[in-house]
Each structure stands twice: as structure tokens, then as C-alpha cells.
Structure 1
Amino acid sequence: MWSPSFVAALLLLLTPAAHTLKTGDWKTCSQSGFCRRGRALSARAQDAADVWKSPYSVIPSSVAVASNLASFTAAVKSSIYPEINFELDVRVHKDGVVRVRMDEVGGLRKRYDEAASWALVQEPEISRAIQWSVGKQEIKAKYGEKKDVEVTVEYNPLKVTLSRNGKEEVVLNGRGLLHMEHFRTKASGDDKPVEGSEGDAQAVMQTNPAAWFEGDTEDAWWEETFSSWTDSKPKGPESLSIDINFPRHGHVYGIPQHATSLSLPTTTGPSATFTDPYRLYNADVFEYLASSSMSLYGSIPLMHAHSAESTVAVFNAVGSETWIDIGRSNDRSTETHWVSESGILDVFILPGPTPEEVFAQYARLTGTPALPAHWSLAYHQCRWNYVSSDDVRGVQKRFDEEDIPVDVFWLDIEYAEEHKYFIWDKKTFPDPVEMTNDVDALERKMVVIIDPHLKRTSSYPVYQKASELAVLVKPKSGEGEYEGWCWSGSSSWIDGFNPASWEFWKGLFKTKSIDGQWSWTESTDAVHIWNDMNEPSVFNGPEITMPKDNVHYGGWEHRDVHNINGMLFTNMTYQAVAARSDPPKRPFVLTRSFYAGSQRFGAMWTGDNLGTWEHMTVNLKMALANGIGGMTFGGSDVGGFFGNPEPEMLVRWYAIGIFSPFFRAHAHIDTKRREPYLLDEPYKSILRDTIRLRYAMLPMWYTAFREATVTGIPILRPQYVVFPKDEAGFAIDDQFYVGASGLLVKPVTEKGATEASIYLAEDQVYYDYFAHYAHQGSVKGKYVTVPAALHQIPLLVRGGSIIPTRERHRRSSPLMKYDPFTLRVALDKVGSARGELYLDDGETYSHQDGEIVWREFTAETEKKSKVLRVSSKDLALEKPQEAVEGNALAHFDPANAYAKKIAHVRVEKIVLVGLGKQPKAVRVEGGKELDWDYAPGVSSGKEGQAGVLVVKDPAVTVVSDWTLVVEL
């Protein structure tokens, strides 16, 4: 056992605060054996382009089409190793998604094939309406309403193509880079590549095809060393290579998480932005670079490809380390090469053809975001660390004294005695339940960190029970418990792949002890959870994570499941928090590590960023990319985790934070305190107004989340998603739309800026949210300049939108639940507008039983009668099947319990922007004339100050049908 002084020195050395990023702590492709092999394969294919041919082919006589189903299986052979057998399984789902699976059969070992089972919400339904046409050289099927989509599987060489209207859109193995390294015996050496022959590529291919295809040396087949660590590879080489090309799409997006542009820069070719491929390998990369293809905390192997004609996507269900090269032969096509360390080929082709349809197709596979608790969309205040119970109370007191709203206070690792999670340090937190109750009394919540590493000591009942149940990750021997080092010192890790770990973990969160089982009795329902370090982060491990040859439940090596590991921990926690109360309440769980499907279990953030302008800028791009990957409930540490941002930067970052789905300020233990009330004027007042704006817009945010939970479409929408045919917007990632609200946000990320340039893609009017200035767009697209002094947020409202807000200032969001609403009606060029408002109790699951309010607001100008009508109707009654996630409502009762509860909540004000003339009268249909004010402006279609009509107290409720009549 190491001495305490050595442990202290080790932790000091490995603590992120002790040094800046060392890129040498993480591998490059050239330092990764299987990535080198994959890139070398690509290089050989390029060098021998005239004679290169994939060795994989389908045996035509083996093709077996399933009866009445759009699926078939077939045997696949490799001409390089004819004694190795593979099976191909191709199926078309009911919604048109094509799934292509290939696995080695009858081999020495089994490849890991369970990644999809963790990512998918259910086994997809195979179409029964599609017929395969089996030919001598290929098998194909046409489908779609117009029979315009075709999937073709060519036999020799094996090639899978998705086409639309006869034009290729997605091609698998078109460049012949498919290679599933088969299992072999180390001792025999029978099938080792040997040195290639002299001469041209064709001669080498004929004399020694194995060397021609695989290379002429064993490169890290059985063992690999990086820095001081050696990775034993008992299964030998098992990597998987596949080229996936998009012949008609010049932009690709997704594969989060990377700190780079939304439209992914290239990694191959003479003008490549990055020299290394994009890496998907969940890693604790503190102070990460602001522009890099390095892997970060999460990995979602989903890539969108877009052009003005269509949007398609591929989801590669693999859980091991993966490297992805991106190249472009021209502006209209993209070539990608995916190389994974282990696993089977399991690729889902999403045919689109629109962004909305791609999002829906992916959501049907991996699920939609869970509808969060309403309070979790408000402001969160965190730092490493609030040091005591009194510190928490003091921070809460200061927020209230300065009249700044806040909903959640967070505790980092120092709350726990010796970093034994669930165990309070009674020297600093002697009264955790009373402290939580003091916070809860003001309708606020707490979030407490729970990491996956458990301190190995007999004084820690959580570790003791986990060890007794044998639910901890094992070392490479497969015996005992893996020991590594993290915040707790000597630690072991929960193995979420072990089914027994789930009930054990859920039991820990019970606030009352049951049958003598240890549980977190010093907690309440007001405490929610932050899962950090779940990549997993291991301070003394290779690349600051777990050795790849560690063993999980079922005998799988960590290399097989690394990218899935963090999602399982969050899934367990999410279920545990939901199960602790009866009836269950919606949990809030924040995760740093994630995988495809993690959106079902809560929020994420972009990790240990720096308080720099560059990081503020790239975190915005990362938020958009995370949304593409399904992780729409995300944000970054406002102000940056590391460093002491100047007041100007902090103000600008808060302006980004309020337009992030997850809005949290957080800072490192070595930074100065920077709670918003600590700033000098005018910065403090600017931050107060900024945070209040977020609270006023919470109805809009909650409504946007409802749509995301039903459709899978992200809340922060890049330009190409909203305007998929406007090529000028395909690479824009410094502005975005918030849901379907019509809000267009252009954050300021440059020091000293006083104005901002915003791109308008359409011939439509856009209004300044605050000043009501009308900007006129163009059919060709145009940029407009807007004021952006430090106290100003560049924020436009698209004509044709109606935005519900709540304008009363409260100290926390639950105190607003009976507040009246303001409707901001932004008229389009023809005098119409539309918007929605979704409400439920914001806390329980009663919304799934129909206890909701979902309203549609419309505005229509009748030219002949010279009347403008603003109306409210029950959208849930009209579309009960689209009201909540899971489409659970068979019918809807407008007089449900929640609707009755808020029946008295009224609309206190209606603001109509873009009204070109003063009205003659304003009244609610069937009622008396109302009080109103009108500020004149330019006529419709003109640039300048818009006319604004403010109707005071129209005497209507938010749950009732009504029509406001404006006589013009």
C-alpha cells in the first residue's frame, strides 16, 4: 500500500488545477495501433486506386429473404482470408431507416455486439410493405410514398447504397475500406501478413494479398504501449474499418463531442484543417483546446450530411474507441472513414430527406430527451466548492438581498467526507437536511455531486456493500476489484453492466432506510444529482481513464464498452432519483460523459472549459453540435471553469447562458468568487436584468422542451435546420434559433464589440426584441447590423411568431406558477403570426396522464374587413397524440385537474409588434372595448421602427378559448 504522503503527492500532481493541458496525455492516431492500421489501409487503397478492390463479397446463393419482412441475411467472404466466415443482415425499418449489420460467425471468439441494445429504446419494427428484388449481382428494394428511395446491396465487392430519385446519397464501402479484423491465434502465425513483394501494387496483390490489404507487419496486434502503460490485447486484432461516403452532400455535422465548428472541418487532403481524425473516446480533458479534433467527454457516433437537396445521416452503433477521417473531393461531396477498435458493423442509415425527418428517425431509434422538471430550466449557481452549510445559506441570502433570481445551488466534491460520496463532512456540513430544507423553503433545489469512483475503505458502507455484491469493475485478470486513483484516493468503480448493480444503486438514494439497508437518509427529495468523472476519469490510468483490458460483467473488456460506460452510470442515477419518491418526481441528473441515448436521462455540459473568449465562442458551436447528436439539454460553465474572467466577458457569457437549455454558472476552486451579486456596477445590474430575462422566457423554453421530447428536434436550431435550402447558411454557427419560438440569437463573443451582424435568410421581417425595430430580410439573404453594447443582447423575433412570457420578478421559478402571461405577437409581412404555450405541474409525471395545458395562439389580418384577430384555442384537444412524449394520450380532457388548478391564470398583456396603423377599437369578441396604447411606426414591409399596440388586461385566461378583435 502506498504511503499517505505519496498519495497526496500523486493527487496534487494529477489534479487538473496543477497544470494546463498536456496534449501528450492523450493519444494521436499515430500512437494508436488500430488507428494507424486503419489509416494505412486507406493510404494503400488510395495509392492502388486503379486496382484496389474490396475483398469482401456476398455469396449470392446464401441470400435469404425473411418472409413478409423487409430484411435479408447473407454469407460474406473475404478473398484475403477465405476460411473466415461473416454474416450480413440488412433490414429496412417501418420508417425507412436502413440497418446494416455484419459480424464474424464461427470464429475463435465473439465480438461485442451489445452497443445498440444500450442505445436503442426498443428493437425497431421492420417494414412489411417492402419487397426485395434478388438479382445475380445485387439485391435491392424501393420504398417511400413516391417509391423514390432505393437501397441496393451489391455482391462483389460488397457495397451498400441508399439512393433517392436514382442519385446516390449514402454509400457504404464504396472506396473498399471495409475490414473486420478477424480473430486469430497468436501462437500459430499461420495468417500473419508477411513482407510484401517488390513491384507495383497489382503484383503485390497477386503474390501476397494479405500484405497488400492488411499491411506487411503486425502493428500492435497483441500488445500496445503508450507512455508508461502497456495494454495487453488477449483477443488480438479486432478493429473495424468502414468508409461511409455522401456523394451529394458538402457539409457534415454531429459526432459530438469536439471543440470545433458545427460544419465539421476536414482531416484529410491538402487543405485539411486537422491532421488527426476526429476521435470518439470519452476522456477527462481538462482545459481542452478551443479548436481540435481531440476526443472530449462524450461520444455520439451520429453524423448528419446536408445539401440543398436533402439531409441524411448515419448512426454507427459501436461503443469502442473510434476515429473518423473526413475529406472532400469537391464542395458537393464528403468522404468519411470510420475506424473502431472493436465491435461489429452495425450502421443505421437515416434517409431523411429533411432535417426534421432525420431528427425524428434518430429519436425513434435512441429516444427523445426526457421532459425536465420546470425548475431545472432556471438559473443554477455552482462552484467548486461552497464550503459549508452556512456558506450555502449566505449565498442564498445574498441573491435575495440583491433581488437576483436563482433556483438551484450546487455542491461539488468537498461536501463529502474524504470524498466518500453520500457521506456528509460533518465538520463543514453538520446539518445537511436542515440546510436543504432552508433552501427548499424558498422553492429552490440543491444538486450534489456523486462520482462513480468509490473510496476503498472499510469505513465506507457504499464501497463495502458494492464489494460484497461483486458489482465493481475487475482488473485484466478477471478476479477481484480494479484499483485506481481519483478524488477519493484508492478507488474502485461501479460496473453498470452488471445487472446486480442497478438495484444496489437505486437503494442508495432512498431517503429512508428499508430493511436495515444503508441508504442516504441525510437527503431529501429536493436534492438532485450531478454525475461527474464518469468517462471514467482515473488519475493514474492510461490517458487519465481506465485500462482497456479491465473486465466488465459478461467478460467484456473495457475497450469494448468504454464510450457506453458513462451513460450507464447516469441511467442508473436517473432511475434511482425517480424511484426514491412516491409518487415519482422527475429527476434532474447532470452528466459529463455521454453516448447515444443519454438524452433520455437528463442534461450535460461541456466540461472543464476556460474563461476565455475563444472558449466562449467554441462552447456555442459545441452546444449546437450536441443538439445535432440528441443532447439538446446542454450548456457550458458560464464564465468558464478555469480562470478569472474580466467583467465584460462574464456579462457576455451570461447572455449566452440565458439562451442555453442548461443554464449554470460554475468555477474552479482556485478562482475568485464571481457570483453575479459580487460584481461592481453597472455589471451587476446588467447580470440581474439578463437572468431576469431568462426567467421571463421560461414559458417559451418549457414549450420548446415539450416539442423536443415529442419530435427529437433540438431546441437550439442551427441555420441549416431552419433554412435547409439556403446554402449561405450551411456553415453558420455563431447564431441560432430557439425552438419554434421565432427567436433568433446572435451572441457577442468578441471583446469590445458595440454592434453585431446577423444573417437573415428570407424575405421576412425580423424585429428587435427590445426596441421593436423592424429589419427587412431578402429572398437572397442578407446581413443586418444591430446594436450590441455591453448591456444589449442581439436578439431578433421572426415575423409570424407569438412568444408567451411571464414578466413578474420572482426569486425562483416555482413562485411564478400562478403568474399572469404576456403574449408578444410579432406580425409577419401579411399580418399573421402563430405560437404555442405548454404547461403542466412541472414536477411529476401527471402530464403523461393528460394533466396539461397546451394552447395555440394565432393572429390573422382580414384585409377586406380591416380586422386583426388574435385567438387562443386548445391544441391538446386537437392533437392529443402529439401532446406529450411517447404519444401517450389516447384522448384529452380540457377540464383535467391541472387545467382546473390554473383556471384563474390570466393573460395580463398582449403586445402586437408590426401594426402599421393605429386601431379604431380593441375588444375581446363578445366583450366590451379594452384599454390600449399605440406607438406608431413604419408601414408593413418597411425598414424602421415598428408600430406597437399594447393591450392592457384583456380579461382572458390562459386555459380558455378567446379572440381579441382589433379594428383597423
Structure 2
Amino acid sequence: MRALDYLGILSLLLALPTTHSLKAHDFKTCSQSGFCRRGRALSARAKEAGAAWKSPYSVDPSSIAIASDQATFTASVKSSLYPEINFGLELRVHDDGVVRVRMDEVAGLRKRYDEAASWALIAEPTVSKDIKWTAGKKDIRAVYGKKKELELVVTYEPLRVALLRNGKEQVVLNGQGLLHMEHFRTKTPAVTQTEEPAPKEGEEVVADEAQAVMKAENPRAWFEGDKEDDYWEETFGSWTDSKPKGPESLSIDINFPNHGTVYGIPQHATRLALPTTTGESPFFSDPYRLYNADVFEYLASSPMSIYGSIPVLHAHSADSTVGMFHAVGSETWIDVGHASDKSTETHWISESGILDLFLMPGPTPEDIFRQYSRLTGTTVIPAHWSLGYHQCRWNYVSSDDVRTVQKRFDEEDMPVDVFWLDIEYAEEHKYFIWDKKNFPDPVDMINDVAALGRKMVVIIDPHLKRTSDYPVYQKASELGLLVKTKSESEYEGWCWSGSSAWIDFFNPSVWDWWKTLFKPRQLASGWSWTESTEDVHIWNDMNEPSVFNGPEITMPKDNIHYGGWEHRDVHNINGMLFSNLTSQAVAERSDTPKRPFVLTRAFYAGSQRFGAMWTGDNMGTWEHMAVGVKIVLSVNIGGMSFAGSDVGGFFGNPEPEMLVRWYQVGAFAPFFRAHAHIDTKRREPFLLDQPYKGIIRDVLRLRYTMLPIWYTAFRETSVTGLPVLRPHYVMFPKDQGGFNIDDQYFIGSSGLLVKPVTEKGATQATVYLPEDQVYYDYFNHFAYRGAAKGKEITVPAVLHQIPLFVRGGSIVPTRERPRRSSKAMKRDPFTLRVALSKAGTARGELYLDDGETYAHRQGQFVWREIVAEKPAKKARTLKIESRDLGAARPAEAVDGAVLKTFDPENEYAKSIADVRVEKVVVAGLSGKPTSVKVEGGDELVWDFTPGVAAADKKEGIASVLAVKDPKVLIAKDWAIIIEW
């Protein structure tokens, strides 16, 4: 019977039409979720009560205890509704100014889940040594910061926490009185609440008086509601959630009185600047939901949850940026509202867990990223090859199919670095086990791909086929490593493998065992993946987890994980542990650890430390192409820089124009992969007719020329936490004209500004320039000038054109020789594009290492600064100089490593000692040179094309100086002197 059911499920899935629509009834709205309904009802009662509303939570001043380090204090909190229940409050200030606010139920009937932060944080933060709390009659407060500009105020009654900068409130907790930690209780028969007494005849009762009467008669009903709403059991569709612990949700308002724009809380398909959900103006009527879910065919504009959840938010204004991170792993709904265009109110409603908030004071976006990355870590520098182009579909059907696809890429001179295999490579979807009928020679196939400098990625999903001939499942079951049902039996669900079980990655006993599976050699300790090599990397899909026959296509919330925690407590963290452990397993499978590549669909705060993500099962539509850009920007805000969307859309058969535009979008995302559903037509780029095939070939080659830019950007994010893709508010935080822009962005600190074209039939594009600076068209050096208050320009954007600009003042390093893969480029010479600012100067960086191992953490790298300056008293001279940065800034070397010393003559630098600069292109020179020399050397070979100014003389084609083969070495100091 199980086999029949399995085949039935698969036949339904494989029979999906190529035109899809979201099955919204599979997923809850707030009104269908008991705890969200209760939280929103609380907010509605507070709004109706107006000034009469008061939070029942207060601090007992006599309980305040200040730690000896002065950075921490604890206190008891009581609720006037339940004086017999005890809560504990703790506040601590970190050495970077971040404030941690924790509140938990003390000595309750049960323990609340309090381990979310332990999975997200890289270490316990260091507390400040410069804090001194002052306890008064009404509040306790601390003033701190380099200029004593920050103040933290905790008001006793009602409990209220405010962080201020220079006297202005930045973030306020419980300012609207929506804090409610539903305490654990014993189930009792429902009690009918006392109804509000009817007014006497002729007596007029105003709303405030009615509220007062209700509050006096039954304060609990006034605050909590007059009935138990899904406290102990909840039904959705055909599923019933038993809720054995009863109600335990957490509600709190977190408001930003002086910040009118908010970003973050990925992952949602919506604008970057989050629209309201509370009805003041368009957009949404439901809150944003954080609940990792397999929402294939997701809507292109919706607050619905999709695959990942990062509970981090930036609130921004022209004056400052403030951030917050809530370490909670359960399902969470977030309302966003704007009382005015200069303030934002948010209401967070979580199903379980404790209050564990990190308030990040900023005051700039750069500060927020640094503060957040100190908590949860940075995106690591990926393997260099993983920044190339990835070719995937569900599925390449055989070893010969893979070889043929590789051959066709080479025949068409299209670069590619990675070929992918989806679930059909595995026998009966038993991951790690090859289907020998179609893949009879897996190691030979992998080696054939690797022989041309390429890698393979294969899928490993978290569900294990429950069958006696699958050693991975058998061992996991024998060792007791699987998720259990509420009755403590092994959980059985249905996924691609049919009857399946799920490994419980919260169990420490899983961790070492999981790593052994990836060893490409036989182990004495048991089974391992011998039919694999170190050239195989991993795709972790379906790890929300996706369960075809589960509630909301996921695991029941009353399932049990290690430690007795319910799945409801850890749902949003669950998928992160799967990809994190897989990443560690791939890194440790060889004697010399190499950087792994692991792609994950589900993620949580901290996932950036272990790999890449993609935006899931998108559709081949223009709307999905456009919203994919916004989602990738949003997850970059959430700390995950290594992100991208499926080029072409997972579902559907995009027309050639759409496919070309999608390749242009993908080439300017950190993760660049084409992928397609099993029902779609084959759409590898070499299959297209001209001119589309030629345009995509040029796009792929452009991506490869720019790999040094991407790699250098990842070095920066690995140290600073600043995202690889930067929206305008990050680059220009005071420019209000850019706060809502999410269809163009900058790539790292490179100075590159890209405006992807995501509209059918477009022949031009509107681009916003945020400053009075020159911006050069990357391809033809046309110079556009912005304005002090921002300016829109219209640029050509026919099908083969990408609106791509170099900001004046930037130096961009590229490698211009077409190659079949990134490995073939490792010793190629460089071209330096010098885009002079209106002041006639420029700067750029280049970072290089072996791209594969962790030797860079021991100082094996080359990190150069290239500067174009006018020497003092030489107005008609430009000096372009290359300097070492490793020795200048060893403490921020790379990837979190701190080097006390750095040797510019390290072994890696020696290995590329003969790699040179083959061309220098200078745009915007104010006169024709009379001399171009390497400092101390002979005259160089160069060409100069004068600029052609437009009528207003502010714009036009810039002058271009091309210096041919100056014979300077990329890893050495040098200078080129230009005189005119």
C-alpha cells in the first residue's frame, strides 16, 4: 500500500502543468493561527482602549541586582493579571553598544525554549566595561558611548525599555503595552467571563468609560480576551496540533519613533522597504510571517513566509539607523505600521520561546552590519569556483547527459564552473546511493568534469527512505538519531523518497556520524560515500522541512527533538542545522580541509557562516524575475550575502527575451545558477537561436571577467559584515530619495552600480544617481552626472544592453581573457579600469588567494590597494600606485582571522609573482597625456581618445586613456605616472 501511495504522490507532482498557481489553502493566514489571532486581538483591544490601556507588566525595584561588572542587571517582573506568576528580566550592554534584553518565566510549570541564541551566535558577546547603572524611583538607566550619546532607560511601571541617542528615542519596547508572555498553566474547564453590565436606561456610556468598566469587572478578559482561543488544541485542514504544553506565545511591540523606513525580516517576496500590514495605506492586510515553508509557486508580492527566516530588522532615517535581532526559533508573525512617515511601529507575535532581543544602536548601516555580524558571524569567503556560473536542472538524466552538456558548453565557448544533479541521480531517492542504471560510472563522470577544471554539486535532502536496504536510514534508526512523534515513536512522513524519516540534527550524537557519511573512502567505522570525490559539493533542499503529507507541507509541531523540545520551538532553526553540519562534513572530508560549497533552501540567523542560499521555486515570469532582485537584496540585509534566484525561473518555459534578461539579472547576483523544473523544456543557453545565444555568451563571459570584483567583495563582507549587494540606503544613508529604491544596487565597495532590466520589451531604463558625482557607462564610458539631491537619468537598455555604471572615484580590476572555467583564469593578467571622480582621483582594492583551501587564514593571500592621485603641486599629473594592504591592516585580514603580522612575500604571493597587469584604462582624464611611464622606467605604449561633451558640457563620452602592457606585477608595489 505504501508503494502505491508513493507512486500516487509522485504521479501527482510530476503531472503538474507548466502553468502554476499558489495553493494558498495549504498555508495559514494569521486568522487561521490561534496565537497570531490572539496577538492581533490584543493589539486591537489596546487600540480601542486608547489612553486607558496599560501594560500589566512591571519591574519590582527591590529585586534589581546589578552585576559586579556593571554591564548587567537583573530584576523580577510581575503581571498584575497573574501576580502568582514570576518572570525574570535581564539587560546587558555589550562592548560595542549592543543591548541584550532577556525575559523568561521563572519557576513555571514548564521550561520555555531558550536555546535559539545558542545556535545563532558565534560566541557569548563581551560585555562593556564602561557601563554604570543608576537606579531611581521610577526607572533604572545607563548612559554610555564614546561621547555619552547613548542612553538606556528601563521604566518600572509599566515595564518599558527605551534606547536613546542624543536624547531621541531610537527603539522602544512595550511602549504600546503589547508585551504578553503567556505563562504555562494547567488546563481547566472553560469559565464563562462576566459580561459587561448594560447601561441603565437613559444613561450614556462613552467608550473610555466602557473600557474602564470592563477592566474593573474582569481585567484578564480586558487584556487577554474573554475566551480561550485554541489554547490546548488547534485544527487546520485535516491536521490537529495537540499543543500538550498549552498556550506559550510571546507578544511584544517594538517601535521606532524616529525612523520611518524598515528593512529586513527575510524571507518574503515583497519590496525591500517593508510595506505596512496594518491598513494605514497599501499594502498588506496580513502580518509578515516567519515560518520556513515549502511554498513553491509563491506569489510575487506577499507577506507569506517562504523558505527561510531571519528575525533581524533595520529601521532607517536620514539621521540614523538602528537595528534589532530577536533570537526566537518558533513561528513568528510581524505587523508593520506607520503612525507617520517618520516613525514605525512593529508588533512581534511568536508561538513559543523567550524574549531574547538584541538592540543594535548603529548609528549607520555600516555599524549595524558590524554589530550584527559580531553576534551571528559573517558570510565566509566562498571557494572561488563557486562564484562562476552553475548549470542545473531537474534532472540531468545520466552520466552521458552530463558529459554531453559539458561538451556543448565548450563547443559554444560558454564558460561554466559547475554541473548539478537533482534527486533522480539517487536510486529510489536514497541519497548518497547512485542509480547505476543511468549513472553506472559516477566517479569517472565526476573526474571527466573535474579534468576541465569544473566541479559537480549533487542534492542531499534531509528525508531518509525508510527501507532495510538503505544503510544511512538503518544506522540512523539504530542509533536513535531520528525525529520522534509526540508519543516518542519514530516519525514517518512522506517526501520524494516515499515513506521517510528525518534526522534530528539537534542531537549531538548526529554530528560526528553525519560527517563520516561524506568521506570518499571506506571507513572502518561503517558506511561512507566511496562513490564520490572531493570535486563533489552539496545542495541541501527540502530542509524547512518539507513533508508532503504534513500540516502546511511540513512537520507536525508536536513532534519531539533532542532534549524533549517540540518542533514548534525549533522549526525555523531546524533547516539551518542540516546545512551547517553538511558544510562541516564537506570541509572535513579531506586531510587538508578545503572550502565547501553547500546551497541551502531553509536558513536562519547565522546560516551565512556555512554557505549559499537561493530564493526557491520561483516562476518563469517577469514579476518573479523582478521580485527575485528584491529578495536577494533583503537576505543580504539579513547577513546572507551569497544569494541568488534560479535563472529562467524554476517553473515554466520563458521566451528567449525573458531568458536573456534573466541571465543578465543572474550575472549580477552573488550566486549565479540556472535551474528548471522536470516538466520544462531544455533551456541550456547553447540551445537558443541567435542573437539570443550570442547575447547570453557575452553575459557569461562578462561574469567571468568580473570574478576579481566579486571575490574582493566577499573578502570585505567576511571581515565587516557589510553585504556584497548594497541597496542605496546602505551606500547613501542620508539620501531620502534612495530609501525606497530596490531595483538597482551597488556591488560591494567596487563602485559598480547595476540596474537589472526586468520588464518585457524594454529599450531604455531609468537609473537613479544619488550624488553630485560622475558615473561612467561600463561599456562605452559615457559619463553621466548626478546631483546633490539625487537625479534620475534615462539610459539605453535594448536587449543586449545592461545598465551598468562605474562610480567616479573607483578602480575596477578585471580579467578579460575568455576561458572555459574560473580555474583556467588563475594566472591570467589583469585589466585595471580607473574611473576618475570629478576631483580627478580614484581608488580600488584587489584581493586574491588560492580560492580553495583555508591557507588565507594563515596569511597566504595578496591584498592590494590601487590609488590614483594628483601629486602635490602637480595639477596636470596623475599617479596610479599599487600598495600592499595586508601589512597595513593585518588585524582585519580576512574571514575572521586576526593576523599579528603579515608577510607580503608569503608563499601564495610567490606563486603568482609573475602575474601582471596587461592593461590600464583611465576614463575622465582632463587632457591628452604628454607622457605615460612606470615610475623610474621608460615611456609606455598608450592610446588616447578625447571625450565628446554633450551640449551642456556636463555629460558625454569621457576621454579614455588605454595603457598597453605596462609590465607591472599585480603582487608588487609600483606606480604609473601620467602627465598632460
Separation in 2 of the partners of 1:135 and 1:145? 24
Match of 2:461 in 1: 451
2:887 match: secondary structure: helix
Offset, 1:201: 1.0
Does structure 1 residue 122 correspond to structure 2 residue 127? no
Offset, 1:945: 0.7
Offset, 1:14: 5.3
Match of 2:395 in 1: 385
Worse-superposed segment, 601-610 or 879-888: 879-888
Does the CA contact (< 8 Å) of 2:280 and 2:338 recur in 1? no
Quote the RMSD (CA, aligned, Å).
1.1
- After superposition, the C-alpha distances for 1:283-319 in whole angstroms (9 at most, x for unaligned) are 0000100000000000000010000000001101100
Q: Judging changes above 3 Å, is the alpha-carbon distance between structure 1 residues 884 and 3 closer, same or farther for their aligned structure 2 residues?
A: closer
Structure 1 residue ranges without an equivalent (≥5): none
Q: Which amino acid aligns with 1:33?
A: G
Separation in 2 of the partners of 1:671 and 1:774? 42
Match of 2:206 in 1: none
- Written as runs of structure 1 = structure 2, the 5 A alignment for 1:320-339 is 320-339=330-349
Q: Which amino acid aligns with 1:892?
A: F
Match of 2:16 in 1: 17
Match of 1:859 in 2: 868
Separation in 2 of the partners of 1:883 and 1:651? 38
Which TM-score applies when normalising by structure 1?
A: 0.99
Separation in 1 of the partners of 2:568 and 2:483? 13
- After superposition, the C-alpha distances for 1:213-268 in whole angstroms (9 at most, x for unaligned) are 11000100000000000000000000000000000011000000000000000000
Match of 1:733 in 2: 742
Q: Which amino acid aligns with 1:721?
A: V
Match of 1:31 in 2: 32
Match of 1:511 among 520, 523, 530: 520
Does the CA contact (< 8 Å) of 1:455 and 1:492 recur in 2? yes
Q: Judging changes above 3 Å, is the alpha-carbon distance between structure 1 residues 522 and 195 closer, same or farther for their aligned structure 2 residues?
A: farther
- Written as runs of structure 1 = structure 2, the 5 A alignment for 1:201-220 is 201-220=211-230
Match of 2:969 among 944, 957, 962: 957
Offset, 1:850: 0.1
- Written as runs of structure 1 = structure 2, the 5 A alignment for 1:633-652 is 633-652=642-661
Match of 1:425 among 429, 435, 438: 435
Does structure 1 residue 282 correspond to structure 2 residue 278? no
Q: Which amino acid aligns with 1:194?
A: Q
Offset, 1:196: 4.3
Does the CA contact (< 8 Å) of 1:196 and 1:216 recur in 2? no
Match of 2:893 among 866, 883, 888: 883
Worse-superposed segment, 514-523 or 904-913: 514-523
Does structure 1 residue 411 correspond to structure 2 residue 410? no
Separation in 1 of the partners of 2:21 and 2:189? 47
- Written as runs of structure 1 = structure 2, the 5 A alignment for 1:243-642 is 243-478=253-488, 480-642=489-651
Does structure 1 residue 47 correspond to structure 2 residue 54? no
Does the CA contact (< 8 Å) of 1:851 and 1:899 recur in 2? yes
Match of 1:742 among 733, 746, 751: 751
Worse-superposed segment, 540-549 or 268-277: 268-277
Separation in 2 of the partners of 1:123 and 1:193? 47
Match of 2:172 in 1: 171
Match of 1:710 among 719, 725, 737: 719
Offset, 1:698: 0.2
Match of 2:667 among 658, 667, 678: 658
Does the CA contact (< 8 Å) of 1:193 and 1:214 recur in 2? no
Separation in 2 of the partners of 1:202 and 1:314? 35
Q: Which amino acid aligns with 2:959?
A: G
Q: Which amino acid aligns with 1:10?
A: I
Does the CA contact (< 8 Å) of 1:11 and 1:486 recur in 2? no
Match of 1:967 in 2: 979
Worse-superposed segment, 455-464 or 939-948: 939-948
Does the CA contact (< 8 Å) of 2:14 and 2:679 recur in 1? no
Separation in 1 of the partners of 2:693 and 2:787? 39
2:569 match: secondary structure: helix
- After superposition, the C-alpha distances for 1:785-840 in whole angstroms (9 at most, x for unaligned) are 11101011000110000000000111000110000000000000111000000000
Q: Which amino acid aligns with 1:954?
A: P
Q: Which amino acid aligns with 1:884?
A: V
1:6 match: secondary structure: helix
Does structure 1 residue 833 correspond to structure 2 residue 833? no
Separation in 1 of the partners of 2:908 and 2:748? 25
Separation in 2 of the partners of 1:196 and 1:884? 65
Offset, 1:510: 0.5
Offset, 1:514: 1.5
Separation in 2 of the partners of 1:888 and 1:578? 21
Does the CA contact (< 8 Å) of 1:75 and 1:88 recur in 2? yes
Does the CA contact (< 8 Å) of 1:371 and 1:709 recur in 2? yes
Match of 1:944 in 2: 956
Q: Which amino acid aligns with 1:838?
A: Y
Offset, 1:50: 1.9
Does the CA contact (< 8 Å) of 1:916 and 1:946 recur in 2? no
1:353 match: secondary structure: coil
Match of 1:801 in 2: 810
Offset, 1:128: 1.4
2:84 match: secondary structure: coil
Offset, 1:700: 0.5
Offset, 1:13: 3.3
Separation in 1 of the partners of 2:13 and 2:310? 28
Match of 1:698 among 694, 697, 707: 707
Q: Which amino acid aligns with 2:103?
A: M
Separation in 2 of the partners of 1:939 and 1:459? 74
2:39 match: secondary structure: helix
Separation in 1 of the partners of 2:159 and 2:598? 44
1:84 match: secondary structure: strand
Does structure 1 residue 813 correspond to structure 2 residue 822? yes
Does the CA contact (< 8 Å) of 1:195 and 1:217 recur in 2? no
Offset, 1:188: 6.7
Which TM-score applies when normalising by structure 2?
A: 0.97
Does structure 1 residue 8 correspond to structure 2 residue 24? no
Does the CA contact (< 8 Å) of 2:275 and 2:336 recur in 1? yes
Match of 1:194 in 2: 193
1:46 match: secondary structure: helix
Offset, 1:872: 0.1
Offset, 1:207: 1.3
Offset, 1:888: 2.0
Does the CA contact (< 8 Å) of 2:267 and 2:310 recur in 1? yes
Q: Which amino acid aligns with 1:7?
A: Y
